[in-house]
Structure 1
Amino acid sequence: MVIIGGGIVGLTAALTLSERGVQVVVLEKGSVAGEQSSRNQGWIRKTSRAPADVPLAAASDRLWAGLAERVGSDVGYRQAGILFLAKSEAEMHVHEKWLQSVEQCDLDSRLLTLRDIDHLVPGGRGDWAGGIYTPSDGRAEPSLAAYAIARAARAKGAIILENCAVRSLVLSGSRVTGAVTEHGEIRSDAVLLAGGLWSRRFLGNLGVDLPTLPLTVSVARTAPMEGPTEIAVGGPDFSFRKHADGGFIVTQRSAVKAPITLDHLLIGQRYISSLKTQGRYLRVSIGREFFQDLALPRRWKPDARSPFERVRTKDPAIDQRAIGEAFAALSAAWPVFEQAEIVQTWAGTVDVTPDSTPVIDHVSSIPGLTVCTGFSGHGFGTSPTAGELAADLITGADPIIDPSPYRFGRFAAS
């Protein structure tokens, strides 16, 4: 079978299918894990997820814990916990409501007082109202994980082709019989689309509407330094987590860039509900991104050069202002970060659905096509289970978790 997309979700599906004896070809338009799979922050969390999405994240804890042994290589996984800070009683109330909503999920999450925070993350001077902490949450290294999974999948017989964009599908009637790549056709009666932020454009060319919009986050890594904790910490306008080399990965949590594209005008109304709760984090702008996106075709023929050949790797501009804000806020809360030396910065673009939940489902109008995309910034942490669930759906195996929260049809009435 064919998998479109060599990010961590597609690679995990490839590994799972290969372990089950299925011959797999992964087709990646650029380089393996060249976009968000290597640009994310590496958090693996259940905290603050929608209740219906918690089983996906919880199942991934078990799979992450055994992944190094499974692939024969370190992936940087550490179950060190994640803590979210609250600066007001109103924010604490949000954490309380979430904790009540997931009572049936049997999580180890708990509310914290300021004294608890000072104990877990010493050396701070923030006057926090409290926080929420999940000890079983964790982290892994994007710079290690996807590549280790790719090597293991190849060892199991998977073929992974880079710089090989898929332009379209070969259909017999409406059923999939193959994929058209820039180098020719590959015959297959099953295709998995795990194309991340490119999935909407690929499906649109087939007449299938997948609502996703792009958001960009800028990230920094410090040189190795003495830090306050192994726990990953999210504050109102900063977050940090320990990196495998002893430094820290830092972001500005309340500064997410939302450069306007044509899709914002076409489907933006579907996001009104999420804007009520998340809109304050967005920094909306219109500029060159709009015109760059507009220049990419939305319809093309299988023998024509596709958008995926024109942009092999999405490499958004880094928001240095946001990174500066993050370090200023972080240093005010934990003064040890005043001495931090920034050694690397980057930015990555995620694809966000209206309910911030992925689609992992068959496409009913195109038998043989399955989609696993729209992870809304959560794909790295949930990739082990997401890839396995996609493999289950393709092979007809009992699904690792209930797939109903991820059905495609939930957007039909949007």
Structure 2
Amino acid sequence: MIGGGIIGAATAMELASEGVSVALCEKGEIGCEQSSRNWGWVRLSQRDPREIPLMIDAIKRWEGIDQRLGRKTGFVQSGLLFTARNARRMAAYEAFAERLKEHQIDCRMVVGREMDDVIPGHAMKLAGGLLTPFDGRAEPQLAAPAIAEGARDEGAKLFTRCAVRSVETSAGRVSGVVTERGRIASSSVVLAGGAWSRLFVGNAGVALPQLKVLNSVLRTTPIANGPEQGIWADGFSLRKRADGGYTVSGGSENLHHITPDSFRLARQFLPALRAEWSSMRLRLGGRWREEAALPRHWAGNERSPLEQNRMLDPAPDDRSLQRALASARAAFPVMADCEVVQSWAGMIDVTPDAIPVISEVEKLPGLFISTGYSGHGFGISLGAGRLTADLVTGATPIVDPAPFRLSRFFDGSPITLDSGF
């Protein structure tokens, strides 16, 4: 396993539980990048239809994860509410609700005074919203380490501050990896490297269309009588934390720092940029210089750029956070006096169609990729870990893996985005 985020940890746990010998190598610390920096949502609502079966499986696994691990992840099946200010948004939610009913998932449209019962004390002018009680929340700072420890309990070996430099092959397939501490023989390698995945597999001659998007988050002091459900609204998102405070972020505002890869992948990402133009801001600055300076090819006996960058720790976009907090306070007057305890940012690994790659690499048998979760990886992680393990062991997959194949980007398949979020 390459990568100690929540996807890598979940995959390692599932493989080890099947008796597979697993070594998980992480260049920094467990869950130190986006896995601990996300909103903490575990949501089915507003998913791309291709992700729905996998997300249903994931939530069922979240429901029993603390018991399985004997540790706390903070998971609470609190429900999520997506609010709508106009009839157009309501129509989109109604269409999504029909999709969920096909899967026998409890959800309902909320309108009129009913909204006051669902989120008492709000001050928003709304047409209504979509409530999904099946959805929930967990604590990102707890979950990835707890799952990694669960993998270790099953027999996996965890190696932190141990970057994998390269993949070795023999007779046309994977035979091991070279780490900064030495070689590990293996017939299968799973790359769950998050935002670093494109750089790593590019060194192995594998093309992976993936860019980075920055999302900023803050947390507040505890608030009495705030909403229990996760809330998405125009301008902000909210998630209650285990300590009684709230995680707050922009509802859909993200920042892409223009880098050389932005131009290399421009054609493949153009449909996504058109679809998300209203919520995506572009910036040209120091990130260009940093990524342009990274070597794109290196040998196993050379120090890799992964060792030079143990942790992506970008500065948050304070202006976007100020806007989000102001919107949240206007929507929920009980937040008027809360204080900001901490703010941070993380780099989201995105693909052209905003769904992940969970796939064996056809040109390099034995190499599996599980990345590109496009900001949705935390919640789907437990299902994704199981699916990835199924592909590695050859077991019957829990869901059809075809939508997540890497080859979709190169075989002429239409690349489409289909999400209401």
TM-score, shorter chain, exceeding 0.5:
yes
Q: Give the alignment's Cα RMSD to 1 decimal.
A: 1.2
SS of 1:280's partner is coil
Q: Return the alpha-carbon distance in structure 2 between the equivalents of residues 89 and 369 of structure 1.
A: 47
| Ranges in structure 2 where 5+ consecutive residues have no aligned partner | 416-421
**Cα shift at 1:206:** 1.2
Superposition map of 1:251-400 within 5 A = 251-400=249-398
Counterpart residue type for residue 18 of structure 2:
R
* AA in 2 matched with 1:292: E
**Which secondary structure state, in structure 1, belongs to the residue aligned with residue 380 of structure 2?**
helix
Partner of residue 94, structure 2: 96
Q: Identity of counterpart residues, as a percentage?
A: 45
State the shift of 1:102 in Å.
4.3
For residues 11-26 of structure 1, what are the structure 2 equivalents within 5 Å? 11-26=9-24
CA distance 1:325–1:230, shift in 2 (3 Å): same
TM-score by length of 2: 0.95
Q: 1:93 Cα shift?
A: 2.2
- Whole-Å Cα distance in 2 between the matches of residues 87 and 172 of structure 1? 58
Pick aligned residue for 2:112 from 94, 111, 114: 114
Give every structure 1 segment of 4 or more consecutive aligned residues whose post-TM-superposition deviation is greater than 4 Å. none
CA distance in 2 between counterparts of 1:220 and 1:409 reads: 37
Q: Which amino acid aligns with 1:367?
A: P
TM-superposed deviation, 1:39: 0.7
Q: CA deviation at 1:101?
A: 4.2
**Paired residues of 1:36 and 1:350 also in contact (CA < 8 A):** yes
Per-residue CA deviation, residues 113-166 of structure 1 (Å, 9 max, x unaligned), is 132221111111211111111111001111111111111211221111011111
Secondary structure of the 2:131 match is strand
1:103 Cα deviation after fit: 4.2
Q: Which string of whole-angstrom CA distances, capped at 9 and with x for unpartnered residues, describes residues 169-211 of structure 1?
A: 1111321000011121111111011111111111111111111
Q: Secondary structure at the match of 1:73?
A: coil
The answer to whether the Cα contact below 8 Å between 2:100 and 2:106 also exists between their aligned partners in 1 is no
CA distance in 2, matches of 1:332, 1:149: 37
1:52 correspondence with 2:50 = yes
Is the partner of 1:324 in helix, strand or coil?
helix
Deviations 1:13-36 (A, max 9, x none): 111111111110000011111101
Q: Give the stretch that moved more between structures: 42-51 or 274-283.
A: 274-283
Q: Distance in 1 between matches of 2:43 and 2:78?
A: 11
TM-score under structure 1 length normalisation: 0.97
Residue equivalent to 2:69 = 71
- 2: CA distance between counterparts of 1:163 and 1:125? 48
Task: Indicate the residue corresponding to 2:103 in structure 1.
Answer: 105
Q: Does structure 2 conserve the Cα–Cα contact (< 8 Å) formed by 1:169 and 1:176?
A: yes
Q: Secondary structure at the match of 1:343?
A: strand
- Contact 2:223 2:334 (8 Å CA) reproduced: no
Equivalences, count: 412
Q: Answer whether contact 2:349 2:375 (CA < 8 A) is retained.
A: yes
Mind listing any 5+ residue stretches in structure 1 that lack a counterpart?
Answer: none
In structure 2, distance between residues paired with 1:98 and 1:286: 36
Q: CA deviation at 1:94?
A: 2.0
Distance (whole Å) between structure 2 residues aligned to residue 91 and residue 284 of structure 1: 26
C-alpha contact (below 8 Å) 1:327/1:337 kept by paired residues: no
SS of the counterpart of 1:64?
Answer: helix
